[in-house]
Amino acid sequence: MRIVFLGPPGAGKGTQAKLIVKDYHIRQLSTGDLLRENLNRGTELGVKAQAYMVGGNLVPDSVILSMVGEEFQKPELSAGYILDGFPRTYPQADGLDQLLKEQNQSLDHVLVLNVPDSELIRRLTARRSCSECGHIYNLVFNPPKLDGVCDHDGSPLIHRSDDTEETVVNRLKVYQNQTKPLVDHYKPQGLIRNIDGTGDVQEIYQRILTALK
Ligand code: ADP
Ligand code: ADP
């Protein structure tokens, strides 16, 4: 199973991708997570990406495509994958088409998770995630049992520096202008599965399972 996950920041892609990965035994490839790992390790790629990420702007396509190209060489992806946060522009979608062609692969589904902007801002400003295992929390909708600490491994939770209201508003604009139009790239191939991303996590997950059948 090969899936592209489209949806604005805060729509719940990471939360839902983790559930899909468990049930379908496929890998999650999140370009945001990969970039943050590079940033934390202080790699050349991380240094290049930092200024874009802090302002909520897209990292240049060439940087993203070479990073994803490297990931595609890894055997772990051979059982299938869910691309979370990639592609985000037309050149990235073209680059993905090329990578798929080289590996004689095709996509099975493009999930589009839809949530109104007002709800996205509420979700993102209250998002926290585990610094070790990456588990995603929300101070309002899905708080940890103990303040600031991961339920699973006791590690401290982090508040992403781009999850402030000001940056979120820019990220939503960037999604509308540059990423949402990708629906038109995948529509002619019959791959688009629109999912209502409002309601509780399990309810949304059931909608996704129905769409993947
Ligand atoms: P994305 O990967 O699309 O940016 P996340 O999965 O990180 O989104 O979710 C963003 C925030 O919204 C997190 O704090 C998460 O806990 C919360 N969240 C996810 N799904 C829901 C939901 N159905 N209802 C309320 N909050 C949610
Ligand atoms: P969210 O889950 O909230 O949508 P991500 O973790 O996917 O956010 O991305 C965080 C930031 O990383 C983006 O605002 C952007 O700067 C950068 N980024 C991630 N993926 C891409 C991509 N495919 N192309 C360009 N920039 C990206």
What one-character-per-residue DSSP string does 45-73 give?
HHHHHHHHHHTTPPPPHHHHHHHHHHHHT
* The pLDDT of residue 112: 98
65, 88, 99, best to mutate for ligand 2 pocket (most atoms within 8 Å of CB): 88
* The pLDDT of residue 37: 93
Across the strands, what pairs with 196?
114
Torsion sign over Cα 78, 4, 182, 117: negative
* The pLDDT of residue 57: 97
* CB of 80 closer than 8 Å to CB of 2: yes
Go through the domains of the chain in sequence order and give each one's CATH number: 2-115+196-212 (3.40.50.300)
User: Can you give the pTM of this predicted structure?
Assistant: 0.96
* The pLDDT of residue 91: 98
Of the residues 36, 123, 171, 207, only one is catalytic, namely: 171
Residue 191 main-chain phi, psi, to 5 deg: -100, -15
* The pLDDT of residue 24: 96
* The pLDDT of residue 124: 95
Q: Indicate the pairing of strand 157-158 with strand 127-130.
A: antiparallel
Across 44-173, the runs of DSSP E, i.e. the strands, are 81-84, 109-114, 127-130, 136-138, 157-158
Task: Judge whether 171 counts as a catalytic residue.
Answer: yes
Ligand 1 centroid–CA 193 distance in Å is: 19
Contacts of 194 (CB under 8 A, 6+ apart): 112, 114
Give me the average pLDDT of each 10-residue run along the chain (213 residues).
97 97 96 94 94 96 96 93 98 98 96 96 95 93 96 96 93 97 97 98 98 95
123, 130, 175, best to mutate for ligand 1 pocket (most atoms within 8 Å of CB): 123
Ligand 1 centroid–CA 101 distance in Å is: 33
